[in-house]
Amino acid sequence: MTGPMIAGRVAAEPALEGREPASLLEVTDLRVRFTRAGRAVHAVTGLSYRLAQGRMLAIIGESGSGKSVSSRALMGLLPPTAHVSGSARFDGTELVGLPEREMRRRRGADIAMVFQDPARSLNPTMRIGTQVTEAINAHARLDRRAARERAIELLQLVRLPAPERRFHEYPHQLSGGMRQRVMIAIALAGRPRLLIADEATTALDVTTQAQIMELLVDLQERLGMAVILISHDLALAASYADDVVVMYGGRAVERASADTLFGSVRMPYTRALLGAIPLLERPAHTLLPVVPGQPPDPAALPDGCPFRPRCGSADDACATAPPFDEHEPGHWWACWHVSGLEDPRAAGAQRRPSGPEET
Ligand SMILES: Nc1ncnc2c1ncn2[C@@H]1O[C@H](COP(=O)(O)OP(=O)(O)O)[C@@H](O)[C@H]1O
Ligand SMILES: [Mg+2]
């Protein structure tokens, strides 16, 4: 095992420190516990990752692994039953425990979020233009005309076709893809430095999904904005993300740059997600292959490695939870077993060379 533990987190190697740009977001041992009917639900159980300015980080995992809860914790968007601990530093500011007043001021201006269902996020009774203008007014004092100009500008930025006309239309007059573009425009109204897209393309058809992903990459590059892509789709991460965090049972179980991770998958859970299907042959919209067994119940987490009951490599050592360590430069994983380290590329699994075919 490499990477000395310092106060619960792995210290970066000096060489790595020099290579990587400074972190915009540094999440360290983040925990979220809900109290439901007198029982503790451990939704996030010690999540650590960092995200550099202008990068795209994919957070991948099965449903219930804590992806959404951990991201909502960053924005103070959890119900009062949530107890959040650990640390999430955004550009030097600690977000955990930040007073709601301060959080509200920063929400949308530092970090903004888009969700899966644009039909439900948009107000069906309000014109598109009014909704975008409202978002602009929440962040800046502009007169009517300037706000309208800025709204059109945002709609152009997200490449909504015929923005001047769409400005006056209602959500139902737009396609699903166009509505998601409007939601992204609304998210960009506060000029955030980090955009969190939580399953933002999951409800869309394959072609539209690819177009929205292209848009996110394009915005990331043009605005120098960091993006967190939350998805259950490992193939999406392989196609678009710079860095990947695989979550299981509320914590990270494998983390690396996409090139490193897909070049040599180490964690048995990630291997199970990849299944036997080479990434090259898997369309970006396919669901995760079904990993046999059930994910852990966050209200009754097992001792030891949470993946143990479903893992083909499990043995007695797994009764003790493996630490999440940097075993190879830039590559973290939480598993006692370093067996089966054959390069999956030999089996045909590769990162897809560029974007999807559907464009
Ligand atoms: N308000 C809540 N009260 C209790 N448990 C919750 C609440 N919100 C989410 N959870 C639980 O937290 C766990 C993680 O949820 P979530 O982050 O939404 O998963 P996903 O990875 O699918 O986004 C799930 O078991 C979910 O049931
Ligand atoms: Mg979710």
Domain count, the chain: 1
As given in the structure block, the two tokens for residue 123 are 């107000």
What pLDDT is recorded for position 289?
54
Q: Is residue 278 part of a domain?
A: yes
Task: CATH number of the domain at 240, please.
Answer: 3.40.50.300
Q: Is residue 151 part of a domain?
A: no
pLDDT at position 341 over 60:
no
Does ligand 1 have an atom closer than 6 angstroms to the CB of 63? yes
Q: Is residue 106 part of a domain?
A: no
What confidence tens digit (pLDDT) does each residue in 148-205 have?
999 999 999 999 999 999 999 999 999 999 999 999 999 999 999 999 999 999 889 9
Does ligand 1 have an atom closer than 6 angstroms to the CB of 231? no
Q: Could you identify the atom of ligand 1 that is nearest to the CA of residue 72? A: 17
Longest dimension (CA), the chain: 68
Residue whose C-alpha is closest to residue 92's, from 77, 106, 78, 108: 106
Q: Is residue 178 part of a domain?
A: no
Return the exposure string of 151-173: e unless at least 16 CB atoms fall within 10 Å of the residue's CB, then b: bbebbebbbbeebeebbeebbee
What pLDDT is recorded for position 96?
97
- Which residue in the block uniquely carries the two structure tokens 């369309």? 283
Q: Is residue 112 part of a domain?
A: no
Calpha distance 116→82 (Å, rounded): 22
What pLDDT is recorded for position 292?
79
What pLDDT is recorded for position 320?
95
Domain containing 322: what range? 5-88+220-347
What confidence tens digit (pLDDT) does each residue in 251-301 have?
999 999 999 999 999 999 998 888 744 444 555 555 555 677 888 899 988
Span from the CA of 233 to the centroid of ligand 2 (angstroms): 12
As given in the structure block, the two tokens for residue 280 are 């090259």
Q: What is the dihedral of CA 94, 96, 102, 104, to 10 degrees?
A: 130
Q: Is residue 108 part of a domain?
A: no
The vertex-334 CA angle with 328 and 340, nearest 5°, equals: 70
Q: Is residue 100 part of a domain?
A: no
Q: Is residue 188 part of a domain?
A: no
